[in-house]
Amino acid sequence: MAIHPIEFRYGTPEMKNIWESENKLQKMLDVESALAQAEAELGIIPLSAGEEIKNKASTQYVTLERVNEIERETNHDIASLVKALAEQCQGDAGEYVHFGATSNDIVDSSQSLLFKESIAVLQEKIERLTRLLLELAESNKENVCIGRTHGQHALPTTYGMKFALWAEEMYRQKERLDGVQKRLCVGMMTGAVGTTAALGVEGLRVHEKVSEILGLEPVSISNQVVQRDNHAEFMMVMANIATTLDKIALEIRNLQRTEIMEIGEKFDPEKQVGSSTMPHKMNPITAERICGVSRVVRSYVVAAMENNPLWHERDLTNSSCERIIFPEACILTDYILNLSLKLMGNLVFYPENIEKNLNLTRGLIMAERLMAELTRKGMGRQTAYALVRKCAIKANKDNELLSEVILTQNELEEYLSPEDVDEIMNPRTYIGSAVLMVENVLENSKNWF
Cβ distance 97 to 36 under 8 Å? yes
Q: At what angle do helices 229-255 and 317-345 cross, to 10 degrees?
A: 30
Q: Where are the beta strands (DSSP E) in 159-247?
A: 186-187, 217-218
Active site (annotated) includes residue 150: yes
d(CA 138, CA 129): 14
Please, which contacts does 446-449 make with residues 24 or more away whose CB atoms are closer than 8 Å? 448/130, 448/171, 448/174, 449/127, 449/130, 449/131
To the query of whether residue 231 is one of the catalytic residues in this protein, the response is no
Instruction: Give 241's Cβ-side CA count (13 Å radius).
Output: 33
Catalytic pick among 275, 299, 417, 433: 275
- Rounded to a whole number, what is the distance in angstroms from the first to the last CA of the chain? 43
Element (H, E) at 91: none
The C-alpha atoms of residue 335 and residue 292 are separated, in whole angstroms, by: 12
Please say whether the beta carbons of 164 and 437 come within 8 A.
yes
Question: Which long-range CB contacts under 8 A does 247-250 form with residues at least 24 apart?
Answer: 247/166, 247/169, 248/166, 248/290, 248/340, 248/343, 248/344, 249/286, 249/287, 249/288, 249/290, 249/291, 249/294, 249/340, 249/343, 250/287, 250/291
For the four alpha carbons of 60, 216, 75 and 101, in that order, the dihedral sign comes to: positive
- Interatomic CA distance for residues 98 and 104, integer angstroms: 11
Catalytic residue among 150, 220, 276, 312: 150
The catalytic site residues sit at 150, 275
